[in-house]
């Protein structure tokens, strides 16, 4: 059996560290507050938003909840974000995605002040990450770096292959691995000889959104595999982008689904909120 990278345990460690930090900030008279905005009633978004609010309560962060109707206009949402930008009590602003089709998510993301951009989606945050300046980092890739570091997995000098080039995971993941001195390759839907590329990886991060796509022929013996996917199979069981059962005796370490990357995203959101309050 490979090393199971326990995201639930590591995320709890991080939240416990943050809880202490928040109580120290309180002693200095500083509070931490996150505004959480959901537009419409997408059931998956409701679960994510509730988990974020629960994590806030655990860490001692106040959460302000805005549950807006599906018909909310782009202008109304822009106004709310601008009001929260100007509200000194609010340290972080999170607009849950996806937004209804009539609202341009890019407009909303650009409206959030980069100082309160705890999702790390604003172009200024992404630009800062690319040039190595301090700023908020997208939570899922930041969480993966923590998983690797806290599991004692060396990144420097290693062949890192990131499958998927999304703005939220693949692209920031590749920049973070590069920042840790990994040798980084990104694969995507047009990559030729995909398995040849992924089999070079010492660390393989899979964020492609295809259930059980990565089988043992994609991985090198002894590789570390990080699975960002989250799907429900025919029996309503959760599974990832990686076929866990197929690869498990070939890899040295792997994240399970659930209980791997998922809990880390929320822990890093809490980290970003505390960082925002410390500034």
Which residues are marked as active site?
52, 96, 119
Q: Which is nearer to ligand GUN, 84 or 139 (CB)?
A: 139
Closest approach of Cβ 46 to ligand GUN, in Å? 12
Q: Which is nearer to ligand GUN, 99 or 239 (CB)?
A: 99
6 binds ligand GUN (CB under 6 A): no
119 binds ligand GUN (CB under 6 A): yes
Q: Which is nearer to ligand GUN, 49 or 253 (CB)?
A: 49
78 binds ligand GUN (CB under 6 A): no
> In this structure, is the dihedral angle defined by the CA atoms of residues 128, 133, 136 and 141, taken in order, positive or negative?
positive
Q: Which one-letter DSSP state was computed for residue 102?
A: T
Q: How far apart are CA 231 and CA 218, in angstroms?
A: 20
96 binds ligand GUN (CB under 6 A): yes
Q: How far apart are CA 32 and CA 273, in angstroms?
A: 7
Closest approach of Cβ 204 to ligand GUN, in Å? 22
Closest approach of Cβ 209 to ligand GUN, in Å? 12
Report the residue from 55, 61, 129, 139 that binds ligand GUN according to the rule CB under 6 A: 139
Please state the φ and ψ torsions of residue 94, each to the nearest 5 degrees: -125, 120
> In this structure, is the dihedral angle defined by the CA atoms of residues 52, 172, 3 and 248, taken in order, positive or negative?
positive
Q: How far apart are CA 18 and CA 11, in angstroms?
A: 10
| Residue 96 CB contacts under 8 Å (≥ 6 apart), including other chains | 36, 37, 38, 39, 45, 48, 49
94 binds ligand GUN (CB under 6 A): yes
Closest approach of Cβ 67 to ligand GUN, in Å? 14
Helices (H) and strands (E) in the chain, counts: 10, 11
Stretch that binds ligand GUN, among 59-67, 75-83, 90-98, 122-130 (CB under 6 A): 90-98
Binding site for ligand GUN (CB under 6 A): 94-97, 119, 139, 265
């Amino acid at each position: 059996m490979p090393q199971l990278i326990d995201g639930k345990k590591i995320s709890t460690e991080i939240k416990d560290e943050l809880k202490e930090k928040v109580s120290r900030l309180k002693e200095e008279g500083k509070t931490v507050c996150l505004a959480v905005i959901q537009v419409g009633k997408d059931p998956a978004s409701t679960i994510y938003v509730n988990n974020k609010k629960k994590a806030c309560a655990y860490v001692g962060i106040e959460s302000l909840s805005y549950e807006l109707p599906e018909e909310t206009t782009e202008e109304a949402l822009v106004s709310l974000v601008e009001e929260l930008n100007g509200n000194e009590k609010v340290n972080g602003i999170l607009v849950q995605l996806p937004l209804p089709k009539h609202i341009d998510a890019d407009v909303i993301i650009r409206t959030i002040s980069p100082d309160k951009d705890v999702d790390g989606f604003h172009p200024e945050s992404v630009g800062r990450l690319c040039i190595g300046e301090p700023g908020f980092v997208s939570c899922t890739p930041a969480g993966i770096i923590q998983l690797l570091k806290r599991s004692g997995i060396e990144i420097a000098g290693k062949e890192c292959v990131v499958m998927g080039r999304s703005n939220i995971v693949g692209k920031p993941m590749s920049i973070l691995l590069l920042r840790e001195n990994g040798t980084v390759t990104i694969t995507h839907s047009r990559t030729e000889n995909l398995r040849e590329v992924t089999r070079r990886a010492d660390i393989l991060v899979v964020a492609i959104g295809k259930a059980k796509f990565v089988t043992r022929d994609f991985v090198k013996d002894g590789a570390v595999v990080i699975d960002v996917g989250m799907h429900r199979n025919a029996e309503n069981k959760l599974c990832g982008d990686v076929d866990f059962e197929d690869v498990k005796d070939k890899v040295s370490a792997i994240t399970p689904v659930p209980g791997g990357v998922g809990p880390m995203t929320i822990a890093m959101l809490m980290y970003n909120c505390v960082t925002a309050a410390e500034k």
